[in-house]
Structure 1
Amino acid sequence: MHTVELLLNRTADERVRDQWRRLHAAGLPSLATHPHPSNRPHLTVLKASSVAGLAPVPLPLPATLGPVRMLGRALVREVTATPELRALHRSLWSTLPDPWPPPEDWVPHVSLALRFPAASCPAAVEVLAASPPVHGSFVAARSYDIVARTLSDIPTG
């Protein structure tokens, strides 16, 4: 399986990393200490069995990261699902083999912590309460090969 991920511009990336560090400093789980080279703030658009032959991804796109919330077992910042972002997801979903999730199930987000204890969510929200929405843009795309654990750039344009 391969992902299609969008990367934030430098300022927005640093704001998310700061939130990772603040959670970690408060003794809460965060992605601040995750050692894998893929560990970078990103929006996963979808997963597919292959991304071979993928057309350039039309970037940049505006990015707004809003409220902190739990999504399954992850602590995340919601990403505003603009019409352009939804159109990009639909386009990729319709051109790649075995894509997931389908457009109606996609919840755009940037992860702050994985396997986050739900009981700690109020503490995390308190730590990040002074964090206004993050405004920036998605400026690059990459793919992560889940089996080989390797990254590759996806052309944009």
Structure 2
Amino acid sequence: MRSIELVLDGPSDAVVRALWQTLVAAELPSLGHSGTNDPHVTLVAGEALPVPPDLDVAVPETVRVAGVLLFPAGPGRHVLGLGVVVDEPLARFHRALDAAAPGSLDSSRPGHWAPHVTLARRIRDVDLPAALRVLAADAPLPEVLAVGGLRHWDGDAKVVTRLQ
């Protein structure tokens, strides 16, 4: 699988990592356990997604956090993340990227995409109340995250190509 992702700047990256560590400290699932993941927003993903040529649309400088978001991840499990507001600059950039890098999955196409920053994968349903409690009490959610760049991730080759 390949993807094109917005990465966060240093301070915003640290905010998300602090949220991961809050979950780790509460002995809950978290990407803070992985050690290899970087906080990011996946823009498009697909099996053969190319590195796009130069884009003529500016990368958004910030993304607004909409709140906590859940996706099903199998029986009794969810992905827990920070939802991202699709404002006009982000939507315009996403459409341009979708056109420049064809071959994305339907779930990352305009009109179907639900941008987010993942906090935990496959968290058990029974752990969701505790996760929400510790996040609300110990680590208030950010309102805005600053974008630090754009990258292409080739999961098969484990290669990151910095695009901007």
Provide the TM-score with structure 2 as the length reference.
0.85
Q: Which residue of 2 aligns with 1:52?
A: 51
2:22 equivalent to 1:22: yes
Q: How many residues align?
A: 153
Q: Measure how far apart 1:102 and its partner are.
A: 1.4
Gaps of 5+ in 1: none
2:78 equivalent to 1:88: no
| Cα distance in 2 between the residues matched to 1:142 and 1:53 | 10
Task: Assess, with a 3 A threshold, how the Cα gap between structure 1 residues 154 and 110 changes in structure 2: closer, same or farther.
Answer: same
1:145 to 136, 140, 154: 154
Q: Measure how far apart 1:60 and its partner are.
A: 4.4
Q: Are the counterparts in 1 of residues 51 and 152 from structure 2 also a CA contact under 8 Å?
A: no
Q: Measure how far apart 1:138 and its partner are.
A: 1.2
Q: Are the counterparts in 2 of residues 63 and 137 from structure 1 also a CA contact under 8 Å?
A: yes
Gaps of 5+ in 2: 73-77
Structure 1 ranges of 4+ moved more than 4 A: none
Q: Which residue of 1 aligns with 2:75?
A: none
Alignment RMSD (CA, Å): 1.7
Q: Are the counterparts in 1 of residues 20 and 31 from structure 2 also a CA contact under 8 Å?
A: yes
Provide the TM-score with structure 1 as the length reference.
0.88
2:70 equivalent to 1:70: yes
Question: What is the identity, as a one-letter code, of the residue corresponding to 1:127?
Answer: V
Cα deviation 1:92-136 (Å, max 9, x = unaligned): 112222122211110010000111112211111101114133423
